[in-house]
Amino acid sequence: MNTNVVHKAESPRLAIALEERRALRANQAKAIAEKLDFWYGTNQALKNINLVIPENQVTALIGPSGCGKSTFLRCFNRMHDLQADTRYSGSIVLHPESVNLVGKEVDPIEVRMRIGMVFQKPNPFPKTVFENVAYGLRLRGFSNRTDLAERVEKALRGAAIWDEVKDRLSDSALALSGGQMQRLCIARALATEPEILLFDEPTSALDPIATAKIEELITELRQRVTILIVTHNMQQAARVSDFTAFMYLGELVEVDATSKIFTNPSKKATEDYITGRYG
């Protein structure tokens, strides 16, 4: 039922959004998704997604389970390519060089080297704290110990976990608490200085205190890196993001400044979701 409403109301609003997109593209867009479709086999999971990801801002993706927000997020670093029988059409253009991240000619591994990701469940490797953070650098062939140490420290400081682990760098990462593990995973992603950092419900497995720390960290990181975050928690989206996109049934329903989405959404579907009528 709701989809129909959305469809009918869409066109005028989209036009305005396009205007905004052009404006953004001119100065500060980091990535732009245009007419993005995505299929698992014959099942179309994303339908005609158009979205601008502004540089050095936090963009949140919200929507009910199964709406495609994680699927969309995973297009940015081509995680879907690990599965057989998946297909993209349309584009996600990364600026300033204007490479199409989902283009067939673009190597998914190269994409993943440039765009970091933090997962729902903290997934440190069964290695030491140091080696976890150094992992991406080692993949790229870094082996100079002092150089590595500097970069690891910088990344750990960036993820606000340096003080907690500086004396435990050679301990197993699996000995850390859940919240620490997740910040370690953030440090691991930061070490290679990605152009965009993707967060896939990064706090859903954490307690409220650990969650607060991660949220604070995301707000800080915004100064340095473009962030795209999927979250189930609307308060979280409201707290950390600058822009919020609402997705429903594989489509992007509405995107706007976070303050506007949460106070005065223009779509009924968005309002219903935000006020907890479904999802």
In this structure, what DSSP letter does residue 266 have? S
User: Residues 6 or more apart from 239 whose CB is under 8 A from it?
Assistant: 215
Angstrom distances, CA of residue 102 to CA of 32, 37, 87, 106, 126: 11, 10, 9, 7, 31
Residue 63 near residue 273 (C-beta atoms within 8 A)? yes
Q: Decide: is 79 part of the binding site for other proteins (CB under 8 A).
A: yes
Binding span for other proteins by CB under 8 A among 8-16, 108-116, 250-258, 271-279: 108-116
Q: Give CA–CA dist 217/183, Å, rounded.
A: 9
How does DSSP assign 189-217, residue by residue? HHTT--SEEEEESTTTTS-HHHHHHHHHH
- Residues 136, 179, 250, 265: which binds other proteins (CB under 8 A)? 136
193 binds other proteins (CB under 8 A): yes
- In this chain, which of 7, 22, 35, 140 binds other proteins, going by CB under 8 A? 140
Instruction: Choose the stretch contacting other proteins; rule: CB under 8 A; options: 10-18, 55-63, 190-198, 247-255.
Output: 190-198
Binders of other proteins: how many residues, by CB under 8 A?
Answer: 39
Q: Which helix (H) or strand (E) holds 151?
A: helix 145-158
- For residue 139, the minimal CB distance to other proteins (Å) is 5
Q: Are 247 and 70 in contact (CB under 8 A)?
A: no
- CA–CA dist 63, 234 (Å, integer): 9
Q: Is 124 in the site for other proteins (CB under 8 A)?
A: yes
| Pair 202, 120: CB distance under 8 Å | yes
Among 2, 10, 28, 119, binds other proteins (CB under 8 A): 119
Q: How far apart are CA 254 and CA 62, in angstroms?
A: 10
Instruction: Please state the closest distance from residue 97 (CB atom) to other proteins, in A.
Output: 8
Task: Among 71, 192, 236, 241, indicate the residue that binds other proteins (CB under 8 A).
Answer: 192
Per DSSP (E only), the strands in 145-273 are 196-200, 226-230, 243-248, 251-257
* Choice from 18, 82, 175, 257 touching other proteins (CB under 8 A): 82
**Residues 145-184 contacting other proteins, CB under 8 A:** 151
Rule CB under 8 A: say whether 109 interacts with other proteins.
Answer: yes
In angstroms, give the least distance from the CB of 120 to other proteins: 8
For the CB of residue 156, give the shortest distance to other proteins in the complex, in Å: 15
d(Cα 118, Cα 198) in Å, to the nearest integer? 6
Binding mask 215-254 for other proteins (x = CB under 8 A): ----------------------------------------
Binding site for other proteins (CB under 8 A): 77, 79, 82, 84, 96-97, 107, 109-114, 116-117, 119, 121, 123-127, 135-142, 151, 185, 188-189, 191-195
